[in-house]
Amino acid sequence: MTNKKLLAAMPDSLTAIVECGYAIWASDDVDAALRERFDSKRIPVVGVRHVRVWGLQVDDERVLPGRERTQIQDEEIWEVNLEAKNGSRYEVESKLLKPA
């Protein structure tokens, strides 16, 4: 997938982060120890990755008694690669961020 195709597939909130080049935490729910590793006002964004987590379908009653068919849906995740104050890089789910 080319960069143009990747940008077109991104949610608008993530496109704003990529175009800005910096992010900030969307809420205070993020672990304090993790937040301390990054600048408090502008966290540099160094990349984005689209991940698809494949779902699961179980058709064997022996695996899950009482359930002949169980299905877990596929999930699409957008990960943002952030640069910490010490130069380390961390992948974070895009839902935890907003543009800075």
Domain boundaries, the chain: 3-50+80-99
pLDDT of residue 99: 95
Q: Tell me the C-alpha distance between 67 and 40, whole Å.
A: 48
Q: Does residue 5 or residue 38 have the better pLDDT?
A: 38
pLDDT of residue 64: 58
Tens-place pLDDT, residues 54-94: 877 666 656 656 665 667 788 888 999 999 999 999 999 99
CA separation (Å) from 31 to 20, 25, 27, 28, 44?
24, 11, 10, 8, 19
pLDDT of residue 2: 41
Q: Tell me the C-alpha distance between 74 and 43, whole Å.
A: 30
Tens-place pLDDT, residues 34-50: 999 999 999 999 999 98
